[in-house]
Homo-oligomer: A and B are copies of this chain.
Amino acid sequence: MKTAYIMISNRHIHLTREAVDVLFGKDYELTVKKPLGYPIFAANETVTLKGPKGTISNVRVLGPMRPYNQAEILTADNFVLGINAPVKLSGSPDLAPLTIIGPAGELKLESVAVIAKRHIHMSPEKAAEYGLENKQLVRVKIAGERALIFDETVVTFTDIPDPTMHIDVEEGNAAHIKNMDIVEILP
């Protein structure tokens, strides 16, 4: 059986060096609250997201800093903020605009908010064993009282030992699954 671990993300934001300078102060360094898969960590720092209709505060910053700013939000947040963030893979262009507010300043960004498209990180070796290719779309079966089959799940080559499926909190709750649950990639 082809399997993957589940990893569930709440809303969060990735920031560039330049954005951290504006939001938290020149040369400010993010501090580690909780290590996630190396080198990624949940930082102690949070920001507020501001859209035309509303704001969401206490949005966790993920470190380390990246070459681009990206707020990964929930579908429910689209309604609160009054924006129309698209469902796309992390790192995609043409995202929705938002203002990001930190303790030292704010930034108005034209392309920053996205709803993460569900995907499975997998090493090329494991993918070969499973007969899968990079960027291939697969279906993933969830058992239990809220059983469902996630379609449109993108295989993403990453150098990690075990295949790990990333979904957001709403997807996890809709399927009643939790972190580190093991799910089946359908043939």
Contacts and interface: CB of A to CB of B under 8 A. Distances in A.
Interface residues of A, number: 21
A135 to B, nearest CB: 15
A76 B74 CA distance: 13
A11 interface: no
A170 B167 CA distance: 13
A75 B174 CA distance: 8
A174 B176 contact: no
Interface in A26-84: 74-76
B145 A151 contact: no
A117 to B, nearest CB: 7
A152 B142 CA distance: 11
Contact of A174 (B145, B147, B149, B171): B171
A148 B145 contact: no
A90 interface: no
A23 interface: no
Given A76-B173, A174-B170, A176-B87, A150 B148 contact: yes
A118 interface: yes
A150 B141 CA distance: 10
A150 B148 CA distance: 5
A7 interface: no
Given A171-B174, A173-B75, A151 B152 contact: no
A176 B146 CA distance: 17
